[in-house]
Structure 1
Amino acid sequence: MARKHNLLLAAALAVAIIPAAGVHAATTTAAAPALVDPFVLQVGGTLPALPGAAVSLATGPGGVIAAAHAKGLAVWTAGAWKEVAAGAAHRVAWRGGDLAALTARGLLIASGDRWRTTTMRLPHGVDPAKALLAGGRDLVLAQGDRLYHNDRGHAWRPDRLPGHAVAIARSAKSGTIAVATATGLYERAGRDWKQVSATPAIGHLAYDSKDRLWYAAASGVGVRDGGAWKAYGPADGLPLLGFTALTPGADGDVWLGTASGAIRFDGTNWEYRQGRRWLPGDAVAAIAVDAQANAYFATSGGVGRIEARRTTLAEKADVYERAIAAMHKRTPYGFVEGVDLPTPGDLSKWVQGSSDNDGLWTAMYGAAEVFRYGASKDPAAKDNARKVFEALKFLGDVTQGGTNPAPPGFIARSIIETTATDPNLRDNEQRDRDKQKGDAYWKILVPRWPKSADGKWYWKTDTSSDELVGHYFFNALYHDVAAKDDAEKREVASVITRTTDHLIAGDFYFLDHDRKPTRWGFFNPKELNGNPWRREERGLNSQTILAFLAIAEHVSGDPKYAAAKKRLIDEHGYDMNTLAPKVTPGVGGGNQSDDEMAFMNYYHLLAYEKDAELKRSWARSLYDYWQLEQYELNPFFNFIAATRLADQTWLDAYGPFPLDMPGPWLEQSVDTLKRFPLNMIDWKQSNTARLDIVNLGRHIRPDADPTKLGMRRNGLVVPIDERVIGHWNHDPYKLEQGGSGTHVNDGTSYLLPYWMGRYHKFIAEK
């Protein structure tokens, strides 16, 4: 629908110059800073093995966890299991400070510091393997249509139930008992039972810490709050049905067990915990939660614990920093990348290796350190950033001379010591020819790993455009924020301009040691505008080369870069190409590596653009791009967009409108940073069977299986702690992610948006 505006106002604004934000200013007017208080972070772990499979758990005084297992009864206290009794135990509960368990011999009571045990007979006809047990001031048993009370003597007081008991719960505050039967849910009122809900197929009951009554049924979950019932199902965000357990949390929340993981619900947010990041096994038989909100799970793989650890964003950053320093810096230059584990999940030993994108990933870590230095002035951050600059510079130095010298300004993908196995044995000509059969873009390069002039290094060829984007993104940022003086700024500028000069001299191709363009090194107008195969790269690569030229002009002051940029715009329409850098038929489409590149390009292109009209165009382009990306809960993209769209306005035939980002992007960004898992092992995360997922349409990803791609019913991707994150080019719509626990990602994907948010004052901490 057309928007009506005052035509005189529109005409006046058509010639107005919209103020440009300061270059890399550490402030923004996009939003008031979010003050992030200490918060609770969930951290999964596995307890030592029990002699038998645990089937029931209960929390007792002092946070002691009791476990009934196939071979006995045990308690978790002081960081270890203590066996209390032998023989299969079926259910466990607490009677004050005493521990009670249903066993084949009867009701076992364990008390005192030494857990002295006595056994009492069960009521006639009660099967300890089938009976329900609830603790409290006394013990309550239920089986069939009978309820039995036991104070502290040997006699059981029977009571008739309004049906055969399926589930039982007892309020810790009032002692009120609730029972679910085939006909509904009943609660004890004096001597009588009162039906409080007719919900069918209730399997589990619990009173929470606020004395609200919860049920888990075949159709979903319900809670009685203030006399009214509220039901939740998959349409409300419930991830799964088929419950095996229901346990109150520490603060009005509840935990649910299923055969495919655990679910926590606080009345607003659902959290799905599945896979070895969270649980030793997905099939959950029982759950217990202590007063500190630590949750314990009896699973098919043993007893697990999800710790509720109080922390801050800064403390999380420190954990990732220390892990990167200890594990993830490869070669004396300190290239940052994930590591492999010889034994799944065992962090005591790891193996480093090169990747296709060592330069890009290291550049992004370096950018995090620059933002950290800009926000904190920590000299350690400056030192880290300087080492990254030297590492990236070396990727340009190492290609000169040697067995197959590249043109000046060419940057290697990666390096490997020549004392290692020759990588050309694997990356050989026949392998290239085989790949080219199914990929016409694939280059045949012999050798793919030339040797350096000093004979110490193999360096990898066929460098991609995303590698270049990483170099430019970091180097420009380092130049503006971290370089200590003019001499260091000139040093950085020389590194930027040698690659830019290479591109200009090569007619905007990135030329390898064979003097032919790399697979993705096409920025030439004839290629981008004339080759129909390049339709998807046209907008992005146009934007990329304009960003490179703008950066080179900014750091050097040389007008030749502005002239080259102007020529691409005036003669070849690269400004128009840049208006639409993402080719996709809708939300969830496209390529995440392209998204990562585009947003890094926007950060500098908008900062350095001097022409008001072009700046307005770049801002509109970013705004449109972010409209597609906003559902991905990506703080890195959000902070770039918020930084560069602040106070920007678009003007068209209908008048002006502001380009400030709408919606809860800041709250979502903070939530993502809070949820970021400390466990960066690539354990498999499976979301395919979730009922709160809507699959992407086939038209969005015509070359992929739509059943394996999706988002939640609320229109957002699953949260960061329910999928695998290595880098921000990971596909957040992919429902099956991760592997077998043999790879550990580094924490750059957290550090970069965190320190960017701190530097640009989107987030603050006490």
Structure 2
Amino acid sequence: MARTKRLLLATALAISLGPAAAGTSPAGADTVVAPFLLQVGSTMPGLPGKAVALAAGPGGTIAAAHTKGVAVWDSGRWTEVSGEAAHKVAWHGDALVALTAKGLLTARRTGAGRWQASTDRLPHHVDAATALLAGGSDVVLVQGERLYRHKSGRNWERERLPGTAVALARAKTGTIAVATTGGLFEQQGRRGWQPVTLAGDTGPWASTAITHLTYDSKGRLWIAGAQGIGVRDGKWRLYDPSRGLPLLGFTALAPGADGDVWLGTSRGAIRFDGEHWEYRQGRRWLPDDAVSAVAVDGKANAYFGTAGAVGLIEARRTTLAQKADVYEQAIDARHKRTPYGFVEGADLERPGDLTKWTQSDSDNDGLWTGMYGAAESFRFAASKDPRARENARKVFEALKFLGDVTQGGSHPAPPGFFARTVRSTADGDPNLKDRPEHDKEKQKGDAYWKISPKRWPTSADGKWYWKSDTSSDELVGHYFFNALYYDLVAKDEAEKNKVAAVITRTTDHFLTHDLSFVDHDGKPTRWGFFNPRELNGNPWRREERGLNSQTMLTFLTIADHVSDDGKYAAAKKKLIDEHGYGMNTLAPKVTPGVGGGNQSDDEMAFMNYYHLLKYEGDPALKRSWARSLYDYWQLEQYELNPLFNFIAGVHLKGATWTDAYGPFDLDPTGPWLTQSVDTLKRFPLNLINWKQTNSGRLDVVNLNRHVRPDADPAKLGMLRSGTVLPVDERVVSHWNHDPYKLDQGSAGTTEDDGASYLLPYWMGRYHEFITEK
């Protein structure tokens, strides 16, 4: 019966989340990642006026009709062609044409940066502000129920349309499509207008609801309107929000470079290639969300007229390794603080401006620096790059210093205790802000909050303030990195002994202090309780019981791995045999629903699993830890998190769990490897913390109250397909962010470091989930 229930639950979950992506690699198989196009958003130099129409021309040139004239983007700058306000722009061979109040402007290049323009009178009753324009072998105007073809000189040839025109498009072959109040029609050559029936795979659509038309680079006709978008490819395929369309209310439609299309809306831009949707919103991508015009050049670079400036989303051919190099360079330039090189985000003096920044300490300098060091350890093991070894060595020294600095000074801590972070005493006294009075106020709403007599003691040499009340995630970061450094980087026995001494001094601290992390005041830190009395006997610790049991077993396992002293294995055995820590570890996640708003527990648990399973020598315990990881990953797999996915992939391949009903395969299933690579590909190059607003998207479903009873479900959501939003459509500075939160980010005054990319990337390379051409 239990086996049947498991299968029914898995089937129901698969149905609710939709089919897995095609081409999924099995667990443990590698994915060869070829060079790909990475999108990078920027704001272009300003036009004299607001861009109202854009058109892609020969040689990658872009013509812009704006409120003060016509300009061409070429060779990295705008060249003014006309100073007369324009409404529409198109290309007629090598010439550009534009609708202005004076008529039809035609401009031809006469040399580098020089254009010669002339103007022809428009047909009677044609309004340049509202008429539709198409280029090609001849110039076509549409107004009301009339279509006009521009002939030689000032002559226009006209014909009647089957209804009042709403949208116009022209294919490279010369075929013209018009959407009118009477429906959708096409004309090939000079033959009559033929009605186009919109009967797609989702049933008929109203052709009278079309607002935009275009032909793509493959000659296929695309439509956009009140119901969604569609493409005719032999037969019509129609897409509405139920099939992934993020928004309705289109303001522009333009063909991409390879059969894809871009759409403009008042809330950002959308790219669709027939399979994948990409929503581009916020200053990471656009100068302003109100998009009025779109054009795409032959290299797939997309240009956007917005309520602000003209935006460019560059399609940059790159590799995962090249992306890693960019993040490495940024970390070296802006994200290493103090001579020890603690890695953290940078504060920008002006939003989005990377030329001037400042650095400051954070509550988690040890954790974030440790995760960067873990990335460098995997990098060295995978590439043998001596620069990676040196980076990892510096991280080891930095984290070791966090333990050294607490010894002696104004308020010495017990041996083995390390600080959250440090700051120079030359930068002012942080205790003026972090006072006991402040702690007392915090404790009124948070009984866990610790009142510290001195949150920032000074070091023995008087050069540093060090922050006390170190958290459990800091501990996990230290152990995770040090174990990797010991295994993958330490070059000889002497260096391994040095690393082992750092690991065991903290582990001995726990054994000396009843498995608590004891601060300079002789009391445990806020999150420093790991003993059976608290975890198994204090109801307040119910949420910590499983995770902290797993954490302490991991610390003891790592210490036993690097030491010949049997006391660590003995302490671990006692916790399992006498205090149920093994059973506690089978269920380390008790936070309601998917996550809990702060995914720090998930991040800690997966880093713990990596070494707990790697070093465990008891086959029965190893099966238990694998089952625990499997159950945890069932909840996390929909978060598109390559770090969590790779850890599951490393340790669950070939693993089984046997119960009363027989063996149960624990191998990860589904598209986890494909999704992990996609996340790394889409991880944004621009890590400025711009606001990302996804509430109100039509492809998102809000989480139900029972899934996250601790938060407002209207602010939480996931795609209809069953996963969180792609990484480039939300904010990720670290993997402890809530991926279900729809609106995140700020005003662009911070830049995050790229260690969140580097760690899973190099882990994937080291474990051969990823290879590159």
Question: Do Structure 1 and Structure 2 share a fold, with TM-score over 0.5?
Answer: yes
Question: Is it true that 1:220 corresponds to 2:228 in the alignment?
Answer: yes
Asked if 1 retains the 8 angstrom alpha-carbon contact of 2:26 and 2:669, the reply is no
| 3-state SS of paired residue (1:746) | coil
Letter in 2 for 1:82: T
Which 10-residue stretch deviates more, 120-129 or 649-658? 649-658
**1:107 aligns to what?**
104
Letter in 1 for 2:179: A
Letter in 2 for 1:447: K
1:610-621 equivalent positions in 2, closer than 5 A: 610-621=617-628
Distance 1:332 1:621 in 2: 40
1:587: how far off? 3.5
Distance 2:705 2:584 in 1: 27
1:164: how far off? 0.3
1:511: how far off? 0.4
Please, which of 442, 455, 477 is the counterpart of residue 449 of structure 2?
Answer: 442
Distance 1:398 1:3 in 2: 54
1:382-461 equivalent positions in 2, closer than 5 A: 382-461=389-468
Distance 1:588 1:408 in 2: 35
Distance 1:748 1:134 in 2: 48
Question: Is it true that 1:466 corresponds to 2:466 in the alignment?
Answer: no
Question: Is it true that 1:686 corresponds to 2:693 in the alignment?
Answer: yes
1:657-676 equivalent positions in 2, closer than 5 A: 657-676=664-683
**2:159 aligns to what?**
159
1:534: how far off? 1.0
Asked if 2 retains the 8 angstrom alpha-carbon contact of 1:137 and 1:151, the reply is no
**2:75 aligns to what?**
78
Asked if 1 retains the 8 angstrom alpha-carbon contact of 2:27 and 2:673, the reply is no
Asked if 1 retains the 8 angstrom alpha-carbon contact of 2:597 and 2:738, the reply is no
1:150: how far off? 1.0
**1:97 aligns to what?**
94
Distance 1:106 1:97 in 2: 19
| 3-state SS of paired residue (1:191) | coil
Asked if 2 retains the 8 angstrom alpha-carbon contact of 1:407 and 1:512, the reply is yes
**2:117 aligns to what?**
117
Gaps of 5+ in 1: 5-27
Distance 1:703 1:658 in 2: 33
**1:18 aligns to what?**
none
1:641: how far off? 0.7
Question: Is it true that 1:320 corresponds to 2:319 in the alignment?
Answer: no
1:154-553 equivalent positions in 2, closer than 5 A: 154-172=154-172, 174-189=173-188, 190-197=190-197, 198-226=206-234, 228-553=235-560
Letter in 1 for 2:623: R
Distance 1:275 1:152 in 2: 46
Letter in 1 for 2:32: L
Asked if 1 retains the 8 angstrom alpha-carbon contact of 2:550 and 2:608, the reply is yes
Distance 1:2 1:536 in 2: 26
1:705: how far off? 1.2
TM-score by length of 2: 0.95
1:591: how far off? 4.0
Asked if 2 retains the 8 angstrom alpha-carbon contact of 1:550 and 1:608, the reply is yes
Asked if 2 retains the 8 angstrom alpha-carbon contact of 1:710 and 1:735, the reply is yes
Question: Is it true that 1:754 corresponds to 2:751 in the alignment?
Answer: no
1:34: how far off? 0.4
Asked if 2 retains the 8 angstrom alpha-carbon contact of 1:599 and 1:637, the reply is yes
Please, which of 650, 654, 661 is the counterpart of residue 647 of structure 1?
Answer: 654
Asked if 2 retains the 8 angstrom alpha-carbon contact of 1:29 and 1:647, the reply is no
Distance 1:152 1:558, change over 3 A: farther
1:458: how far off? 0.1
Asked if 2 retains the 8 angstrom alpha-carbon contact of 1:584 and 1:700, the reply is no
Letter in 1 for 2:229: V
TM-score by length of 1: 0.96
Distance 1:52 1:590 in 2: 44
**1:136 aligns to what?**
136
Asked if 1 retains the 8 angstrom alpha-carbon contact of 2:213 and 2:223, the reply is yes
**2:572 aligns to what?**
565
**1:20 aligns to what?**
none
1:585: how far off? 4.4
Asked if 2 retains the 8 angstrom alpha-carbon contact of 1:416 and 1:459, the reply is yes
**RMSD value over aligned CA atoms?**
1.2
Which 10-residue stretch deviates more, 90-99 or 586-595? 586-595
Question: Is it true that 1:38 corresponds to 2:35 in the alignment?
Answer: yes
Distance 1:393 1:532 in 2: 35
**1:711 aligns to what?**
718
Which 10-residue stretch deviates more, 245-254 or 143-152? 143-152
Q: Deviations over 1:561-584 (max 9, x none)?
A: 011011111111000000000114
1:29: how far off? 9.1
Question: Is it true that 1:148 corresponds to 2:148 in the alignment?
Answer: yes
**1:627 aligns to what?**
634
Asked if 1 retains the 8 angstrom alpha-carbon contact of 2:97 and 2:107, the reply is yes
Give the paired residue count.
Answer: 741
Please, which of 733, 740, 743 is the counterpart of residue 740 of structure 2?
Answer: 733
Asked if 2 retains the 8 angstrom alpha-carbon contact of 1:106 and 1:120, the reply is yes
Distance 1:100 1:588 in 2: 55
Q: Deviations over 1:117-154 (max 9, x none)?
A: 10000000000000000010111000100000114432
Distance 2:529 2:136 in 1: 72
Letter in 2 for 1:89: A
**2:606 aligns to what?**
599
Asked if 2 retains the 8 angstrom alpha-carbon contact of 1:582 and 1:590, the reply is no
Distance 1:294 1:603 in 2: 41
Distance 2:393 2:436 in 1: 37
Distance 2:579 2:301 in 1: 61
**2:19 aligns to what?**
none
Distance 1:680 1:210 in 2: 35
Distance 2:597 2:282 in 1: 28
Letter in 2 for 1:181: T
Distance 2:585 2:733 in 1: 28
Distance 2:26 2:242 in 1: 37
Distance 2:371 2:106 in 1: 59
Letter in 2 for 1:598: A
Distance 1:106 1:291 in 2: 29
Distance 2:320 2:44 in 1: 27
Q: State, as a whole percentage, how many aligned pairs show the same letter.
A: 72
Question: Moved runs in structure 1, 4+ residues, more than 3 A?
Answer: 1-4, 584-591
Which 10-residue stretch deviates more, 584-593 or 613-622? 584-593
Distance 1:473 1:490 in 2: 17
